[in-house]
Structure 1
Amino acid sequence: MALPSDGASGGASGGGRPRPRLDPVVAKARNLVAALLGISSTGKVRPVPDPPLVLVACSGGPDSLALAAVAAFFAHRGEIRVGAVVVDHRMQPGSAAVADAAARTLRGLGLDPVQIRAVDVEHDGAGPEAAARTARYGALDAAAVELGAVVVLLGHTLDDQAESVLLGLARGSGTRSLAGIRERRGSYLRPFLDLRRAETLAICEVLGLEPWHDPTNTDPAFTRSRARTVVLPFLEAQLGPGIAASLHRSARILAADADYLDQLASDEFERLVERVPVGVRTLPRLELRLPEDGLRGLAPALRHRVLALAAVALGGNQPSFERLLAAEALLARCGSAGPVELAGKVTVSRISRSQSIPHDGSSYGKLVFRRNA
């Protein structure tokens, strides 16, 4: 398969010699990728002796295919090596053929290595979208470790960000959820969050690529699909254009706020937490204790985060707002001392004077977090 055009078109220069003109949307995409990877998108090519491997998670759809093609440009310059992982969720008929076609296109772009990873999507009550996401990231994590990749690029766009914020609003979520999709999370980078979905389609057209269009993206059975095809267009029609960009801007503002609050909460958690080994030698467990007075002295935004950190630190899930309020109510000393069930088999209770357990006087009133076996 021949490599696609690099997005440059011919133009007259002095003496009639053709001068390539880079398509603006391709140039924009290259700048976004280069900025996040910390490399230059212009100037003299400076190949490195042992370039690091960057993986692109690619379904064959327009967003991830455009990202793969843009990343391939930097691989041809010798600054990085670029490979790809195609995850076959095996949730649709013909998914293996779609994955094979995507892998062939990626190899034609010059990406190497290109892996196809088939996964089993286990429905654990969180819904098919969440289950597929869990399986997908598990496959990408494994591929990155096996191949020695430094980062994995994901093709989420501004439109994906707007949908995430809108869905967070509909669920009544907090600051972190409304902050939407992170540009950086561990080894995962999302360089296209300032790019519209229409622009990734334009990149594919300019570069002569034929992306696959996932039918579930317009399937009304999925909540995100309804947000994409019904709710956002309705809001644009009723409130005027620019809704997606406004939601994206709100996410960027809230992300900075959430990062700051999370760091403060982490500092307070480490200052307050007491880690106590409990259980028998054959089944050791860790119990976390947080003092009442210390928790009461925190602003509610920090207190809720500290309580959530205790649950997550024991291997539980992020508690819902309602569960955090129930845990916080233990501090009021009204009614029961618990336990309150949190997500992921974690419970929290208050040590009361009536409890016949060995503790010193300073333990009285502490909130105790335990994870059930």
Structure 2
Amino acid sequence: MKKLSILGSTGSIGVNTLDIIERFRDKYEIVALSAGSNIQLLKEQIKKFNPKVVSVLNKPLAKKLREELDPLDIEILYGIEGTNRVATLPEINMVVSAIVGAAGLIPSVSAIEAHKNIALANKETLVMAGKIVMKEAKENGVTIFPIDSEHSAIFQSLLGHQKKDVKRIILTASGGPFLNCSREELANVTTQEALNHPIWEMGKKITIDSASLMNKGLEVIEARWLFDIPHEKIDVHIHPQSIVHSMVEYIDGSVVAQMGLPDMRGPISYALAYPERLPTELPSLNLLEIDKLTFDLPDDKRFPALRLAYRAVEEGGTMPAVLNAANEIAVEAFLNNKIGFTGIPHIIEQTMNSYKVKEINTIQDALEADSWARMKAKVLI
């Protein structure tokens, strides 16, 4: 039986992961959960899965949870120390890293240093410090299994092939809710419109990133490190139907693609069970019912966030951490109606333009760049 900790259990990925685990109780045991402030949902998860350890955002929430769960025998922790404990418990085999944003970096690295295999949904871990994280994983004998549908598709499309034969990786993107909007229309979109994704059900931050195509930019950087492929060999195609989750083209002209209906439980179950597959009973893809599959190039004039991500990975060093931090601050400002939708890439670009790239040799280098960019972006807003 595989024993798991889930970082970010009350988020979209965490909830879907627990849905899979509930169906396969004979294969998986939940040892520990970490969450933010949604303690009502966490309470339900605790009662259903009976973890030994849980962690929440802060001390007041931990106190409240302890009072509401009394007399259950469970260790309740809080803060980064609590999350790190959840990530490093001796008895666990795998950590599902599903915390949103830069907050996922430290516990993911802690899990790797504790020799835990990672099912990775937190792309920021590799965006901010991919070079260091992959080096640590190799040195600690850790395998990182991607949960993102695109990276899971690439992982599957690379199996049985040699890396030297890869010509390029093609990440697909739905294009989000504003695929056909003009620049003038994009300047006036509302937060509610931006949160109305046509295909995927995700958390607020990732949904906004999908609408701006920053999510795809972050995935380019993640893929560069996860698969050790130069960014020049990573392309993005707009694919509104979200059936082809990504592709790998080989030097002989062959293209291997992974397809399926858009449901995160597919890549989650694959990461949990690899090299096996679970009989999830998810709906089957019926290509006869699909009207058409279309592909197009992204428009970086209307969606400059993708261009900024390529710039960040090209400049290298600490710049991807700056890109990510500025984006998190700008998205938060947009969600709070402090800036417009097109203000998001504007704030990011201004922040990047103000920064002098440094080499990244330690996790602390990434954290310092992150902190600087957050302060700078807040000033610009």
TM normalised by structure 1 equals 0.31
Q: How does the TM-score come out when normalised to structure 2?
A: 0.30
Higher RCO (C-alpha under 8 Å, 6+ residues apart) = 2
